[in-house]
Structure formats: structure tokens, C-alpha cells
Structure 1
Amino acid sequence: MTRTIIRTDAAPAPVGPYNQAIAINGMLFVAGQFALDPQTGDLVGEENVGKQTEQSISNLKAILASAGAGLEDVVKTTVFLANMDDFAAMNKVYAQYFEEATAPARICVEVSRLPKNALVEIDCIAVVSA
């Protein structure tokens, strides 16, 4: 069982004691990504859940790519929203990246607060080549 740590400068550095992703046994577990700009570390789209969703998914894509995967390899996502009233706006952007017919399984929950007061955070599990 080989465990590989995935790190890329194309996505924000972790803001705590965790890795961007771990690959093990053909599976990739990607840590939650919120709307941090990878170059500046600043929150993108401070009051705009759509822009934050775009940046969160962009960060996921960068980590997936560094492990040789893409959004089409994602089998499960978890979406954390600071306010469930933002669900429709988040979902509209999310749907641009995941087509309904092949979209991964998903959980979406409202939480009381996210790091850096982000509006959305998304993690994922993907299948990768061994």
C-alpha cells in the first residue's frame, strides 16, 4: 500500500497541518478547497459565492492535475456552505464543471463558519491510475 503526498504550487498551500491531497490504492483524497488565490493567499470574491465556487473548483482542478487526474475522475464531493441560502448560486457554478449525467455523488451542508470566513469549501475523492 503506497501512500503518496500530493503538493502543487498551482493551488493554495494548506492553512494548517494537512496536505493538499493523499493518493493511496488508486484513490485520491483532496482536502477541502476554498477560494484562496494560489499566488497571493488572499480570499477571492469576498461576498460572491459564485466566484468563490469557481476558485474552489479551480484549486481542486490544480491538485487533481498534479496527481494525473481531472474533474471527470471525481466520484464524490462534499460542499460546505456558510449559508444554505447560497445553494442555488453555488449549484449554478458547480453544474458548469460537473455535468448532471456523470456528476459525482455529493453532500452539501451548511456550517457555522469556514476558514478565513469563506462562503464555500469543497473537497473531493477521485479515482487515479496506480
Structure 2
Amino acid sequence: MHSTFSGLKETFQKCEVPLERVAKVHVFLKNIKDLPEMEKVFSDYFAADSFPARMTTTTEFIDSDCLMMIDGVAYTGV
């Protein structure tokens, strides 16, 4: 799960937007049983007092070894 959040962080860094500016994320899990672990990893990337709004859902992925996907919306400050 860290690789998914690292990928999100890298993408925003390429746009010169820190994770602190992320306003909302959508998290897609293959298995709902992974929710507690995802929440722990989530707190490694976002400060507890400033979590972005979040929607989490489960879904089947085309790629059978995909367990999680995430997308996010951030405020650029421009």
C-alpha cells in the first residue's frame, strides 16, 4: 500500500504540489478487509489533524494483482 501512496506523492511533487494541499482522495480497494491497513498507511502520508476528505470503496480490478488504487485532487495555490 505504501507504493500506491508513494506514487500519489510523486505525481503531486512533479506538479510542485505538496501532499498538504491535497483536498480530496478516492481510494479503491480490492478487498474491504484491507481497510484497517490502508488507514494506517494513510496516516503515514497525511497529518492526522489535516486529513483530506476521503471516499473509500471496493471494486474489482482488471489487473488481478492490483489491490489498491488512489486518485486525488489538490489545491495548487495559484
1:80 aligned partner, one-letter code: F
User: How far off is 1:117 after superposition?
Assistant: 2.7
> Does residue 96 of the first structure (1) align with residue 27 of the second (2)?
no
Q: Secondary structure at the match of 1:78?
A: strand
TM-score w.r.t. the length of structure 2 is: 0.90
> Partners of 1:110 and 1:76 in 2: how far apart?
17
**If you compute each CA radius of gyration, which structure gives the higher value, 1 or 2?**
1
Which among 1, 8, 21 is matched to residue 73 of structure 1? 21
The answer to whether the Cα contact below 8 Å between 1:71 and 1:98 also exists between their aligned partners in 2 is yes
Q: Does 1:127 align with 2:78?
A: no
For residues 62 and 39 of structure 2, the distance between their equivalents in structure 1, rounded to whole angstroms, comes to 18
Please state how far the C-alpha of 1:116 moved relative to its aligned partner: 5.2
Q: CA deviation at 1:68?
A: 1.1
Equivalent residues in 2 for 1:3-82 (5 A)? 53-82=1-30
TM score, norm. by length of structure 1: 0.56
Deviations 1:41-74 (A, max 9, x none): xxxxxxxxxxxx2111111111111111111010
Q: Which has the higher contact order (CA 8 A, sep 6+)?
A: 2
Kindly report structure 1 stretches of 4+ aligned residues shifted beyond 4 Å: none
- 1:112 shift after superposition: 1.9
Q: Which residue of 2 aligns with 1:109?
A: 57
- Normalized per residue, the structure richer in helix is 2
**Partner Cα distance (1:115, 1:64) in 2:** 24
> What's the RMSD between the two structures over aligned residues?
1.3
Q: Residue 128 of structure 1 aligns to a residue in which SS? A: coil
